[in-house]
Amino acid sequence: MVWEGRHDRLFIEGQWVPAHGEHLKVVSPFTEKVIAEVPSACPEDIDRAVAAAREAFENGPWPRTPLKERMAVVEELRRLLAEHQEPIAQLITDEMGCPITQSRAIQAVNPVRVIEACLETTSGYPFRSVRTDQTGSALVTREPVGVVAAVVPWNVPMGISIQKVVPAVLAGCTVVLKPAPQTALDAYLLGELIERAGFPAGVVNIVAAERESSEHLVAHRGIDKVSFTGSTTAGRRIAALCGHDIRRCTLELGGKSAALVLDDADLDQVVEALRLGAFRNNGQICTLKTRVLVSQARQAELVERLRSLIDSMPVGDPHEEATQIGPLVSARQRERVEHYIAAGRREGATLVAGGGRPRGLERGWFVEPTLFTGVRPEMTIAREEIFGPVLSVVTYRDEAEAVDIANDSVYGLSGAVFTTDTRRGLELASRIRTGVVELNGHPAGLKAPFGGFKNSGIGREHGPEGLDAYTEPRSIGLPPDLAASLA
């Protein structure tokens, strides 16, 4: 399939079918030129996709297919994704400006790793168990929740699509996947690979859409569960729509994560961890550590290293391997980031590096990687998610205040502690009210639950908790002799 140009079809019921809606323009954030047009699903298209998924769930073979056979189809998808890592990387860089080295090492690799971890988790998942006590015996089963609407953002399009679709289908669900309008092209590739992997018709359907049709999908009576990743503002709206019909939902939302740098921390390790930990994907990742908390005694030393880090990160063409900071996804996103930079200056923060548009780049939605010091916890740039390459340094008097500052946020998605005393670091990590905390930059991995406290969301993805999200427990009371034979 040729990815550039005009597309007129949607992937519904295992086929590429004509769309009824208008077209979306996919625009390169580097050249600012249209690279493709794709259909924007209208409510009629959404109805057709939901009906296909509903039919596949109610009457198709997939929910009743033995688990090993479902796993085999997913394994074939994993193999195909592994074979297509380079086109996936190129497409994501084309669509949203992620530097190509990061697209190759993260955006195209993680979908494969997610499937590997999910298959291993699924093989030991308790889909059936017998529980007995003095009051009775039950066969407890984990039944597929039904038809899932998977709504994914533009910043990690393939990876987040996979982390929703794969556990859902392994649990026996069927899916309507709605990619973001800005990054619909990699979803076309995913549809082709799903078709080749051997999924039955209607198990996975893919429809790009804008807001009105997206709400139609989320509120559709044929949908049993919504899994959404995106902004907290959009998450509130989805939660309200789902709450009206008591529809299940998982929400992975925004973050304003803090990195606590203790006085004994290795600052070279801290700064190198923040290269990707604070600036990955041009600052457009919800888990990035955008608040760096450091004692007054070590602030100057850390700030100088952070300034050097920014100087070492080339800004430019995201297709060039030397580039570490590419353009933001859209002109609107750049305006948003520039608004926050202006707010930081207006409220009295000290601009140490960046803050403008890079010289010599007359096209592309670029913002220089930016560093503020003198940031107080009540400032806008310390409280609101910016979603761009902007880092704030906040000082603390002691460790207790550092934890208080880290927790003084409506968000609770991620965080980090840096120290050479790892046991002390572990104790402090347990006091941070976030779903994930990284100790000295070490990731939690793809078998650990991922999700947030507070306004960062509801529910978890990855690990057995990620499978739980796509199942409903059912208990069947058993006679003692049958319970004994099944135990």
Write the pLDDT tens digit of every residue in 251-265: 999 999 999 999 999
Measured distance CA(112)–CA(273) in Å, rounded: 24
CA 224 distance to own-chain centroid? 21
Task: Return d(Cα 248, Cα 226) in angstroms, integer.
Answer: 6
Pick the catalytic residue: 13, 95, 252, 368?
Answer: 252
Let me know how many helices (H) and strands (E) the chain has, helices first. Answer: 17, 23
Q: Which two tokens stand for residue 456?
A: 């960062």
- Whether the CA torsion 305, 309, 312, 316 is positive or negative: it is negative
Pairing mode of beta strands 225-229, 390-396: unpaired
Non-local CB neighbours of 301 within 8 Å, separated by 6+ positions: 267
Whether the Cβ atoms of residue 259 and residue 418 lie closer than 8 Å to each other? yes
The ranges assigned to domains in the chain are 5-253+456-475, 257-439
Highest CATH level, class, for 257-439: alpha beta
Q: Does residue 304 have a pLDDT over 70?
A: yes
- Taking the C-alpha atoms of residue 405 and residue 390, their distance in angstroms, rounded to an integer, is 18
| pLDDT, tens digit (0-9, with 9 covering 90-100), for 364-393 | 999 999 999 999 999 999 999 999 999 999
Task: Tell me the torsion sign for CA atoms 13, 18, 24, 27.
Answer: positive
Q: Are 471 and 171 in contact (CB under 8 A)?
A: yes
* Residue 252 annotated to the active site: yes
Q: How many Cα atoms are found within 13 Å in the side-chain-facing hemisphere of 188?
A: 26
Neighbours of 301 (CB within 10 A): 11
H helices of 97-156, in order, are 100-102, 110-123
- Please give the Cα distance from 181 to 184 (Å, whole number): 6
From the candidates 98, 249, 286, 338, which is the catalytic residue?
286
Our CA angle for 205, 210, 211, nearest 5°, is 115
DSSP 222-275: T-SEEEEES-HHHHHHHHHHHHHTT-EEEEE----EEEEE-TTS-HHHHHHHHH
Read off the pLDDT band of 1 (50, 70, 90). very low
379 touches 362 (CB < 8 A): no
Residue 66 pLDDT more than 60? yes
CATH class of 5-253+456-475: alpha beta
pLDDT band at 21 (very low <50, low <70, confident <90, very high): confident
Note if 118 is an active site residue.
no
pLDDT tens-place string over residues 77-123 = 999 999 999 999 999 999 999 999 999 999 999 999 999 999 999 99
Residue 76: is its pLDDT beyond 80?
yes
Kindly indicate the confidence band of residue 4, based on its pLDDT and cuts at 50, 70 and 90. Answer: low
Pairing verdict, β 438-439 and 415-418: parallel
* Whether 74 contacts 162, CB under 8 Å: no
